[in-house]
Amino acid sequence: MRKWLIAGAGILALGISGASAQNFPTRSVTMMIPFAAGGPTDTVGRLVAESMSKSLGQQVIVENAAGAGGTRAPGLVVKAAPDGYTILLHHIGMSTAPTLYRKLAYNVLNDFEFVGLVTDAPMSLIARPGLEAKDLKGVLEYIAKTKEKTSYANAGIGSASHLCGMLLQAAVKQQFNTINFNGTGPAMTDILGDRVDLMCDQTTNTTGQIKGGKVKAYGVTTKTRVKSLPDLPTLDQAGLKGFEVAVWHGIYAPKGTPKEVVAKLTQALQAALKDPKVIQAFAELGTEPVPQDQATGAALQAKLKAEIEKWRPLIQAAGQFAD
């Protein structure tokens, strides 16, 4: 009798969870962002969340859980109930954290379900206004001449500008005098003030300064030119063959989230990436949504795997650890 009861309860529970997965979502969904409100990742997250709310029929609420170099929010999402009501939007930092942090509280590949890729945000290489180099060739000559006294600004360990700097140093085979700032704002202050030579940061942060003519700009880091900065060549075209880095964004759910729920989230993401409003807003940020076939769990998982392997040797060679 007891056994039957337990079995019955089990079937009932399965039935309920099946039904709730089918009805998903019946309440608001929380999208965790690992960085402070107002930053480039937050902006991407909020634009997508607003559009996803429309197709899910429930609000997708953005919650900023900044801290520990972007590793606090994934730690929280891993511990959340795997029901699809807590999801994570993270950027390229998801793939560098396993190397940068030796004691990570989660495994990026095993502890998540993958919803899909969102966008590849371009970065651009800029310099202080007083740097004489007119183009990338000039910059490369400057680096060859100045050697390790070439100064490079980044917005903190593990930030996109830090990663681009590591890639740049590997590409030109020259260590820079790297100066860590806490955020793009302070870094930009010392670029504008003619004190630090170079910075490579997300186009969202640099476009205003480039268009205002307050900094020198030499190229974008993506494979193709960026529509909002039509005069800038790609770094690959300008002389750094094969140099390519983009701040890719993906959406994750805790491991064990039902397949139907993940599929619904993926559909909502795909719909958001077709939303003209999102496309237009992305364009102003100098980016565009990934093609529909990339906004899938499989594509995100593959990207994450490839990126972990891409960054591991670079980070290890630089001897960089954040913990």
Footprint on this chain of another protein (rule: CB under 8 A): 36-40, 42-43, 46-47, 50, 62-69, 71-72, 75, 103, 105, 149, 151, 156-158, 177, 179-183, 185-186, 188-190, 192-193, 195-196, 204, 207-209, 211-214, 280-281, 284-285, 320-323
d(CA 171, CA 136): 13
The DSSP secondary-structure symbol of 68 reads G
User: Rounded CA gap, 97 and 91, in Å?
Assistant: 11
Choice between 207 and 270, CB closer to another protein? 207
Of 57 and 319, nearer to another protein (C-beta) is 319
Q: Is 103 helix (H, G, I), strand (E, B) or coil?
A: coil
Q: Quick one: 120 or 266, whose CB is closer to another protein?
A: 120
Return the bridge partners of 120, or none. Answer: 248
Q: Considering the complex, what minimum distance in angstroms separates the CB of residue 67 from another protein?
A: 5
Neighbouring C-beta atoms of residue 42, cutoff 10 Å? 18
Residue (196 or 251) nearer to another protein, CB: 196
If you write DSSP's letter for every residue of 189-236 in order, what string do you get? HHHHTT-S-EEEEEHHHHHHHHHTTSSEEEEESSSS--TTSTTPPBHH
Closer to another protein by Cβ: residue 293 or 323: 323
Those residues with Cβ within 8 angstroms of residue 151's Cβ, 6 or more apart along the chain or in another chain: 176, 177, 178, 179, 195, 196, 197, 198
Question: CB of 34: closest distance to another protein in angstroms?
Answer: 11
CB 234 within 8 A of CB 222: yes
CB of 137 to another protein, least distance (A): 26
Q: Least distance from C-beta 40 to another protein, angstroms?
A: 8
Question: Between 232 and 300, whose beta carbon lies closer to another protein?
Answer: 232
Write down the least CB distance from residue 28 to another protein, Å: 12
Q: Of 302, 308, 305, 300, whose CA–CA distance to 116 is shortest? A: 300
Distance CA 154, CA 67 (A): 17
Q: Number of C-alpha atoms within 13 angstroms, CB side, residue 167?
A: 26
Shortest distance in whole angstroms from residue 24 CB to another protein: 22
CB of 106 to another protein, least distance (A): 11
Q: How far apart are CB 107 and another protein at their closest, in Å?
A: 15
Pick the closer one to another protein by CB: 15 or 186: 186
Q: Helix 297-318 to helix 93-100 angle, to the nearest 10 degrees?
A: 40
Pull the structure tokens for residue 41: 């990742």
**Structure tokens that stand for 229 in this block:** 């900065």
Residue type, 290: V
Nearer to another protein by C-beta: 25 or 297? 25
Token pair, residue 7, equals: 């079995």
For the bound state, the minimum distance from the C-beta of residue 156 to another protein, rounded and expressed in Å, comes to: 7
Phi/psi at 14 (nearest 5 deg)? -60, -45
d(CA 39, CA 36): 6
Q: By C-beta, is 71 or 222 nearer to another protein? A: 71
